[in-house]
Amino acid sequence: MELNGGSVVAMIGKDCVAIASDLRLGNQAVGIASNFDKVFPVNDKLYYGLPGLATDVYTLREHLRFRVNMYRMKEEREITPKTFTHLVSSTLYEKRFGPFFIEPVVAGLPTPTELDPHPKPFISTMDTIGCITTPKDFAVAGTAADKLYGVAEGLWEPDLEPEDLFETVSQTLLNAVDRDALSGWGAVVHIITQDKVITRTLRARMD
Amino acid sequence: MECSFGLTGKDYVLLCSDMSAGRSIIRMKSDENKIKTLGPHLAMAYGGEPGDTNNFAEYVERNMRLYHIRNHYPLLPESASAWIRRTLAESIRSRKPYSVNLLLAGYDTTTTKPHLYWIDYLGTKAVVPYAAHGMGVYVSLSTMDKWWFNDMNKREGVDVLKKCIDEVKKRITVHFNFNCILIDKDGIHHIDIESEDPITELESQQPKETLVDAPNPPLDIGNVGVTA
């Protein structure tokens, strides 16, 4: 966590979700790279962020890509956000006594089905050993988590439209990481809606 | 007590490492080559726990060579970086981890792009335009922040590298000798960083004279292994 730095935030809007991360990779106080993305897609309706130890970001991402591909081939359908959360959770708990130093955040829109024609946007977060929390407003993780809680608590409101949600999540992230020495160095935001995903990189303070 | 850095340019990548070997405050050697060539267009500068370093570097070198022999083409920098990262990531959670930090530099002959990777003993990998390991980070990173720019030609690249070395000599009490290579479309070349204009020297010589040999010359694939 405090070795490489980095933060992720996810928020729920009206029929949309947002997930954003900073781009810093550090070695304690020394900044190494400003292109280290921590948010990855599973499919075009489901993204997840992995803030924490950078070596585990790669390892866990490779591991999850394998497991999602296996799921896709066995089930012949895309994984839902809820199932994916449990997949991540059990992957983390497998390493209960030598954990991945990562606190994942999942954000996605479930596809409408016959049983559930109007599914709600979904976000969830876990601790390093896979204990799930499913908030109905926002989820934060990483070295700036405490700051993110404060800003998100003040800025978030229910039923934000995609563009308003983008503004809220961007301001939340930028203002939180500016108060954290281990996060920042650029940011990337994904807004997931039923018909498209909007990805934007933000200009941020580079100090 | 080690110091290495690398930087990318328009169509080449430079890699530079100190040459000291010793224990704690004692230097036992000042001409130890700590840059390993891994293929025709791939090399790495390594440092860390003595013993682990050479052992790991040779392990990587032979695996790269094995891939080359099996497939008749070398592993590209991107794929090589992924393999090395994974090896270190698996090692860190093993009973006896390798304690090796490295800079991997390569030239992708298929896309004609230079690549530089910062990799540490945990298996952390960063794709970077310029990077440093060891004591050099505290002075050379800021020097490169100031002077590095996109698509530098070879002379400009060597100038930045010289600035870094000057800064290390000026600000760090330990004395270092540096060893430097350049990788471009023609392969891996040794560069005399102490000379006035290394690039003119490089260009005036026949390409073969400056070339650093890749591990074993490439196999003549037409005559090998195709019996029966």
Q: What is the mean pLDDT of residues B55-67?
A: 96
Contacts of A3 in chain B (CB under 8 A): 122
Residue B224 has pLDDT above 50, yes or no: no
Residue B43 and residue B186 in contact, taking contact as beta carbons nearer than 8 Å = no
Residue B84 and residue B99 in contact, taking contact as beta carbons nearer than 8 Å = no
Contacts of A30 in chain B (CB under 8 A): 137-138, 141
Residue A24 and residue A185 in contact, taking contact as beta carbons nearer than 8 Å = yes
Query: Rounded to an integer, what distance in angstroms lies between the CA atom of residue A45 and that of residue A56?
Result: 24
**3-state SS class at A113:** coil
Q: Do A27 and B120 count as a contact with CB atoms less than 8 A apart?
A: yes
Confidence of residue B204 (pLDDT cuts 50, 70, 90): confident
pLDDT digits 0-9 by tens, B146-168: 999 999 999 999 999 999 999 99
pLDDT digits 0-9 by tens, A19-63: 999 999 999 999 999 999 999 999 999 999 999 999 999 999 999
**β-strands A7-12, A138-142 pairing:** antiparallel
Rama region for B156: left / alpha / beta (φ>0; ψ in -120 to 50; rest): alpha
How many residues are given for chain A?
Answer: 207
Q: Do B92 and A25 count as a contact with CB atoms less than 8 A apart?
A: no
Query: Quick one: tokens of A153?
Result: 């608590």
Contacts of B141 in chain A (CB under 8 A): 30
Q: Assign 3-state DSSP to chain A and report helix, strand, coil percentages, each to 5.
A: 30, 30, 40
- Report the pLDDT value the prediction gives residue B228, as an integer from 0 to 100: 41
Q: What is the mean pLDDT of chain B?
A: 91
Q: Phi and psi (nearest 5°) for A148?
A: -60, -40
Q: What is the mean pLDDT of residues B37-55?
A: 95
Confidence of residue B226 (pLDDT cuts 50, 70, 90): very low
Contacts of B120 in chain A (CB under 8 A): 27
Contacts of B127 in chain A (CB under 8 A): 33, 35
Positive or negative torsion for Cα B118, B123, B124, B126: positive
- Report the pLDDT value the prediction gives residue B212, as an integer from 0 to 100: 73
Query: Quick one: tokens of B42?
Result: 């791939």
Positive or negative torsion for Cα A158, A159, A164, A168: positive
CA–CA distance from A24 to each of A30, B95, B143, B182 (Å)? Answer: 10, 30, 19, 28
* Contact with chain A for residue B139, Cβ under 8 A: no
pLDDT digits 0-9 by tens, B74-116: 999 999 999 999 999 999 999 999 999 999 999 999 999 999 9
Query: Rounded to an integer, what distance in angstroms lies between the CA atom of residue B201 and that of residue B199?
Result: 5
Pick from A30-44, A84-98, B54-68, B188-202: least confident: B188-202
Q: What is the mean pLDDT of chain A?
A: 97
pLDDT digits 0-9 by tens, B24-34: 889 999 999 99
- Report the pLDDT value the prediction gives residue A130, as an integer from 0 to 100: 97
Distance from CA of A12 to the nearest CA of B (A): 31
- Please identify which residue in the block is written with the tokens 């959360």: A85
Q: Assign 3-state DSSP to chain B and report helix, strand, coil percentages, each to 5.
A: 35, 30, 35
Q: Do B120 and A53 count as a contact with CB atoms less than 8 A apart?
A: no
* Contact with chain A for residue B131, Cβ under 8 A: yes
pTM, rounded to two decimals? 0.94
Maximal CA-CA distance, chain A: 52
Distance from CA of B126 to the nearest CA of A (A): 6
